[in-house]
Structure 1
């Protein structure tokens, strides 16, 4: 910040303070207050020191930070804390009440081995009612030689829990590049199994086609899955269907039931080029990885993840965090998305679509997800680690907390340019030769602290940044985080593990300020082999939907929490029923719930199974069935290899990949509809004849096949010569050809009545990249006329192309009359779509056009020409228009598709795009 900016900021603060007067209580309007570290007693810091023996040049995740665990470790009714350190002693703190904590690390014997600790997982491993801790460690890498540790509580002595490392006894003394362990009863046999998330470290063997890694196991970097066999953990990674190659860069893991079948599923966020994983539980001890079948795209550098039903529809949604800056200055200084050729290179190697921003996957309830982070307003939270969904104010809707920050920004453009241009330096660091001068290079990486983010759920799929409602908040490098009710007042507080700073405690002020709704707080007592009841789900059925929450310890980033189950209810009068669904999928209905106080619920044997079908959405009136294979129409469109960005680097999107033409009509007069499917350049378009058995057979049409050099983007079947047979008009586009190229001409093929297209004509003058071709009798002479919409000007995106209107003169001849019918129509805009329809019910077809970077326009047919009208003033990236009577009132309405709100482009009347 410049001195002038600093002076202005200080002056502004002084003015605001003066006008506001002296205020003793700064928390009246705050949602949370950050407590001063000196008052809490949390004397812990995760400090990092770089040396010539070990630095970020040796371990790329040097700055990922530590995690923490929260649980009542001494069974006194207060939630305690355990922090992991990367280069020092881990620490345990007992909660003494009123947000005061006491360091008992040495007494409890849980300081660790001095290795590089990452994730902390709280679990009652032996079901004795005492909480244990499983530590993930980075081992067998450079100077790091530690193994995972399992601290089992031996006893509680004078209020102090005493621990011993028993990892060897449970076969859990794992050595590898560990991130986080998850203990869940995945096979519903009553005991807790374990999934160990690991991460790769960018060795040479981690690049290449995804298929080449299938079935290969990395002992240190690969994820691992263990079945609990009577207290011993058996590695069944391969037989369970878990990917365990060096390709995985696992930084985040969360469990939940995404398909409401009663079995826990797994979502894993992978850094860098590897896909994220979505493992569906197959109910037989195995999993199936289905991400690419259900999710269109993910974060690119996935870090922390969480799973929760944030919109109260009964289905679990998924959050994955990335590192997209929200500050424009930081954004411009940071590396962005891959270049298009690199992006396509990854696609060809089998990697899914990935974008460097947070992703919020909305569960559609039909085995698909819609990614809506931009629409929700949570796509950019900078270098983010832990994302936690929970209800800030107990209103029944889950809000969102995000921890973020990194001490050194390795994606800074200036730094990466420096390293790229300094060949000798790059070679040294890649070879592992690091001296003091090399460590000075690290100082060239920018240091930017940023505040953690708080988002309030608006109940409409969007969230509001409530940064002004966080009292005393400060910038930091924050990593692992948990939420729990640390003061037992009925709302959930937050604790964060920081780098180079003491832990943050955000005290929740909802109850204190009188803005909290009702909450349901349960002391869950599970089955004998899962006493903590991990995996329990609570569903409250209300007038407006479902409020549900799942009891899993691990979420966010390298952290876990087990305390009383907490779910915000809001208005308790609207609750119709509350169900407790135990990990074995049996359930109890909670009668006469005690809101705002702790209620105890205990598992019982012999309970009925919960019917998850009650969570299904109402069956839609229109039910679709995929008949592609059964009707012989399994056609996959393949674009030709042409990258417009190489020709016009400032294009917001390519015009050449907007999809093929499709037209439907009965071309052979048998009463069955046939299909035309267009193609990209140098691929033949095809016609399929429907047979009586409802299957399709491809029709050989040499005249059309010979025109495969065209790119066919739209088509329509109409009887253009009034012989009683449907002819075919095709619009050419693709934006690859330019000028008067033959392959920018619009064509008509005439049908002889048997489906044979034996004659072709071109429409005069129309050498354009077209978007649509429409046909209607606009002058009432009984002949079908044609409109061709101009999409773009090749090599000059943004320039208005020419559009054309043709009057059918009979005898297969057409006259271009665009300007005669409307002075505006020839260069109306960048046409994306259109339709003829009698919008004003005067018996004449009007023309409705969807324009990119413009408005929706109607050209009213007056019998001699067109009169232009704007549907409304709002300009947009209109790409679709359909005219129909939506409300069945007898007049025609317009359904139009814009770019939408789930877009990187932000527009308003004051600041249009």
Structure 2
């Protein structure tokens, strides 16, 4: 299929290269990883904002020379970035290091075109740069002349046929050192106004033998050369190519999942309300109205097959996808029953659970988003009872009135009385971001068929009052004492741990060992990823591919106050950036235009863009102005594996690089490759960002295979079969006819996708009263899993587990401590 690319310049450390012209991508230090040199500079900056203001205000008869003289000059060095390869020093494990000075390219210039070639035949690439109004630069590469150990290389020259003498379009792949590989497409036309050497160059570090060289010519013929010695130029000739060479079949035949959306009749397209949050709060770091749709899965109509319900928004009502015995899904709308004076709410959380213990799944829809005025009935949640056949009746009296904009709803039997109680997460006060929001616990007081839930937050968990901006939560026994505890993930906060202490919940975050790790935590899910008998966690965060980069020394901060006293909450987000001396100082994240649109009085303090650009945050606002400001900070944006160390203590481990290229949202944890170790499938991206930062769209869905020791291996799209390129949100698992394993993935303003696990596995249904499962593996290890009714971001999976040949025995324990053994 077509190639898929992800834009990762922020994570790679090369998003800010000024006025760039020509990126040269080649292995300049012969370490087997391709580096990048970017030419830079421009004699006059016609885009400078101060010049634009001067031109707009200049007299009509101002001559062109005077206008040009007011344009800034951009004479700066070119940029060189060394590819760190697998030895990257940054947190994400992937990136480039700026080596402009170290490589001798620090001379300021107005450069544009550039080429590379081994001009002195010493086995490394030299570099030539063309400049405006200046002589060209010629840089000798001294990699192999100053180092004690020469780094090896291979050069390939192409000899084509009469119609294509240089073999343009041929693809060379070299294999070496236990399946490592490099690929080169033969085209010398690389970069702005530039043509490089016609030969392919491969740096090899200290590799002494190349196992094979495979050439795929433009006419489809192939050529294979084996056991090639480095440090030479070999010539490949199309006349020696043939069609008899067999290339191993694509890995796609063994991928984990396949997309079956159309074959099962699913044509669901999410159409979210086009609401502009930035009209309400100009400097929001992201929208708060574009986070759905939510998905829940379960057997709604009692036919033994798992159905789906997809959440609605202001432009659409929630919709069922009812699974039929022929494997097809049939759409069915949920009736809207909130009255003619109410708008359709955004369903920010969906829960299918047996509220009244009559043996079928009732429906709770939590209402969220920010598109309506705060504290209005548009944020009242909806509850429906099920007649057992998938017909739902609206119940207006079973739950307390609650006009908070919410993020999630999760169920567990926290008091072990045989029915399910609820956690309700508070997300935001519309128009008042990032002020804190309360979350809630509802106890199920249903008796004699009369449904009734009671808000008991103040009596058992008063610390949930104004807890913050909750994004996700999990009922989980994190200290392994048999009682269900509560974990909360949210924005501008660390992961919060609430220990169940005799039916009351106490915030024990200070003892967790990770209480200082504040982030924009979107989601959390659990699993025993290291096979040690307790529950670890995986948490989705902003990721490392953003303008917002945070650390303990240099956090990202947000200040909230009505600075200009116009009865609207103003917010200022700050980051640490290098000043003119290279020292990191706190600056506002947005530019002068954006800041003055929110607080017009700043125009008088900073008359020019240059003045504002140089001003630190402390220069913009006085201590007196900041005295009453509400302040939050984040110092860790890495999506993480949270290792359970026991006794309520944890350790954060950043997930692999490919899990950091965009925000992570919903996750499904299961043993996808049948090796006895838990893996994770992930949905993500966020298109609702501020314009200046650009949308987060680098993720295409991701599968991480676990090794049972807390390490994860990211799988390519080809290997996993999971491809979710849009604004991904929810992800759930469900069963189909004949025990096929499905996953459903939602995308905001894009189609719902259904994936099928290629290998069938035995499935075991769980009961509402089940709490956790102990797997005894064939190797003697024991792995613990918990049954979550509501799991991960905007998601609820169907109640079942899978088993395979790696598992010797399964023991399921319910809330009353009753166990059942499944061989």
Same fold, judged at TM 0.5 (above): yes
Q: Which residue of 2 aligns with 1:899?
A: 542
Measured after TM superposition, the shift of residue 421 of structure 1 is 5.0
CA distance in 2, matches of 1:904, 1:711: 29
Q: Which residue of 1 aligns with 2:573?
A: none
TM-superposition CA deviations, 1:262-317 (whole Å, max 9, x none): xxxxxxxxxxxxxxxxxx6xxxxxxxxxxxxxxxxxxxxxxxxxxxxxxxxxxxxx
Q: Which residue of 2 aligns with 1:852?
A: 491
TM-superposition CA deviations, 1:668-717 (whole Å, max 9, x none): 11111122111221422212322111222233543458676211111110
Q: Which residue of 1 aligns with 2:301?
A: 668
TM-aligned CA distance change 1:667 to 1:599, over 3 Å: closer
CA distance in 2, matches of 1:471, 1:369: 32
Q: Which residue of 1 aligns with 2:117?
A: 484
SS at match of 2:10: helix
TM-aligned CA distance change 1:807 to 1:728, over 3 Å: same
TM-superposition CA deviations, 1:435-468 (whole Å, max 9, x none): 8713422222211211111111101331110122
TM-aligned CA distance change 1:478 to 1:570, over 3 Å: same
Contact 1:660/1:679 (CA < 8 Å) preserved in 2?
A: yes
TM-aligned CA distance change 1:705 to 1:619, over 3 Å: farther
Larger radius of gyration: 1
Equivalent positions of 1:200-599 (< 5 A) are 367-421=3-57, 437-460=63-86, 461-471=94-104, 473-514=106-147, 516-542=150-176, 543-573=178-208, 575-599=210-234
TM-aligned CA distance change 1:770 to 1:574, over 3 Å: farther
TM-aligned CA distance change 1:619 to 1:869, over 3 Å: farther
Measured after TM superposition, the shift of residue 778 of structure 1 is 0.8
Contact 1:685/1:708 (CA < 8 Å) preserved in 2?
A: no
TM-aligned CA distance change 1:593 to 1:606, over 3 Å: closer
TM-superposition CA deviations, 1:507-557 (whole Å, max 9, x none): 111011126411112343322332222223322212252122222110111
CA distance in 2, matches of 1:660, 1:527: 55
Q: Which residue of 2 aligns with 1:654?
A: 287
Within the alignment, does 1:840 sit opposite 2:466 as a pair? no
TM-aligned CA distance change 1:695 to 1:508, over 3 Å: same
CA distance in 2, matches of 1:695, 1:736: 35
CA distance in 1, matches of 2:255, 2:172: 30
Q: Which residue of 2 aligns with 1:828?
A: 467
Contact 1:834/1:847 (CA < 8 Å) preserved in 2?
A: yes
Within the alignment, does 1:760 sit opposite 2:395 as a pair? yes
Q: How large is the Cα RMSD of the aligned pairs?
A: 2.3
SS at match of 2:407: strand
CA distance in 2, matches of 1:574, 1:587: 21
SS at match of 2:52: helix
CA distance in 2, matches of 1:691, 1:875: 45
Deviates more, 1:769-778 or 1:368-377: 368-377
Measured after TM superposition, the shift of residue 754 of structure 1 is 1.9
Measured after TM superposition, the shift of residue 752 of structure 1 is 1.9
Measured after TM superposition, the shift of residue 591 of structure 1 is 4.2
Contact 2:8/2:545 (CA < 8 Å) preserved in 1?
A: yes
SS at match of 2:534: coil
Contact 1:581/1:610 (CA < 8 Å) preserved in 2?
A: no
SS at match of 2:441: strand
Measured after TM superposition, the shift of residue 653 of structure 1 is 0.6
TM-superposition CA deviations, 1:336-389 (whole Å, max 9, x none): xxxxxxxxxxxxxxxxxxxxxxxxxxxxxxx43222111111211111111111
SS at match of 1:668: coil
SS at match of 1:468: coil
**TM-score normalised by L of structure 2:** 0.62
Measured after TM superposition, the shift of residue 892 of structure 1 is 1.3
SS at match of 1:534: coil
Q: Which residue of 2 aligns with 1:34?
A: none
TM-aligned CA distance change 1:774 to 1:591, over 3 Å: closer
CA distance in 1, matches of 2:307, 2:232: 66
Measured after TM superposition, the shift of residue 621 of structure 1 is 5.6
CA distance in 1, matches of 2:224, 2:506: 65
SS at match of 2:465: helix
Measured after TM superposition, the shift of residue 608 of structure 1 is 3.1
Measured after TM superposition, the shift of residue 833 of structure 1 is 0.8
CA distance in 1, matches of 2:74, 2:285: 30
TM-superposition CA deviations, 1:789-817 (whole Å, max 9, x none): 01111111110011111111112111111
CA distance in 1, matches of 2:389, 2:222: 64
2:256 is matched with which residue: 622, 625, 629?
Answer: 622
SS at match of 1:827: coil
Gaps in structure 1 of 5+ consecutive residues: 1-258, 260-279, 281-366, 426-434
SS at match of 1:820: helix
Measured after TM superposition, the shift of residue 594 of structure 1 is 4.3
Contact 1:407/1:447 (CA < 8 Å) preserved in 2?
A: yes
SS at match of 2:195: strand
TM-aligned CA distance change 1:804 to 1:420, over 3 Å: farther
Contact 1:766/1:804 (CA < 8 Å) preserved in 2?
A: no
CA distance in 1, matches of 2:209, 2:337: 64
Show structure 1 runs of 4+ deviating over 4 A.
Answer: 609-614, 616-621, 703-708
TM-superposition CA deviations, 1:629-687 (whole Å, max 9, x none): 23332122122122111111121111111112211111211111122111221422212
CA distance in 1, matches of 2:518, 2:540: 12
TM-aligned CA distance change 1:679 to 1:701, over 3 Å: closer
TM-aligned CA distance change 1:818 to 1:620, over 3 Å: farther
Measured after TM superposition, the shift of residue 568 of structure 1 is 1.2
CA distance in 1, matches of 2:280, 2:338: 29
1:748 is matched with which residue: 366, 369, 383?
Answer: 383
SS at match of 2:445: strand
